[in-house]
Structure 1
């Protein structure tokens, strides 16, 4: 796989029903890799992704390469000026190719266009690769609760 080709040919757009099952699988596979199991009670938004993220000031984006969902990311409303990044996931074979950078950039652009001034997110403290990724994208930790690192980034 050529990482440059993946980045050049991947298209990021709002999820539609034809890609919902693939997107769900990408997110759940990532969670299973991180936690070693899946607990469905923690993922009610994945039952109908299109419906869950169809509200005002919410978006679920998919990265498509060769008609396949290879990465996901979402923003939901935390408050009028603050969005929450969630559901960031990349299929294992596409990690370290830059697709996550493309996804977070698309989420940040969408957030600015939709009036958010700040983005927040959280990630498990054991996920050092995710912590490093967000720090390298300009997010800073405002709280470490012992289990998770909570990040913030100013968009304006």
Structure 2
């Protein structure tokens, strides 16, 4: 004789439901991180207060999202102005990929200005990505707070 309740589902059905739930959650996480990355590049490209003659610095601004060390999304585009925009795009993507691949646990969003002189341009008082980083972090934090309040 059995005591207790009789399940209305099998273990396999329950496992499939959890996998479906996890897949949906991961899809939402990717969309969330992409929105943060897009906020980062929008602000960085718009508010860059430096004169970018070659186009390399603005072209090196972008982001990569990796999951468990594998790139799953990215956005690097060449600047509209400049004489050599390809180098910046290449260096920015390479730097972001390098950083993202060193992170092997779950998702990571890496936003960069990939030219080696980006920090010295900011040190001279020009805006490159510091403000964009701050606004991206605020956007992600506020969005997460909003989601957790709803739960």
Judge same fold: TM > 0.5, yes or no: no
Structure with more contact order per residue of length (Cα contacts < 8 Å, sep ≥ 6): 2
TM-score normalised per structure 1: 0.29
Question: Which one has the largest radius of gyration?
Answer: 2
TM-score by length of 2: 0.30
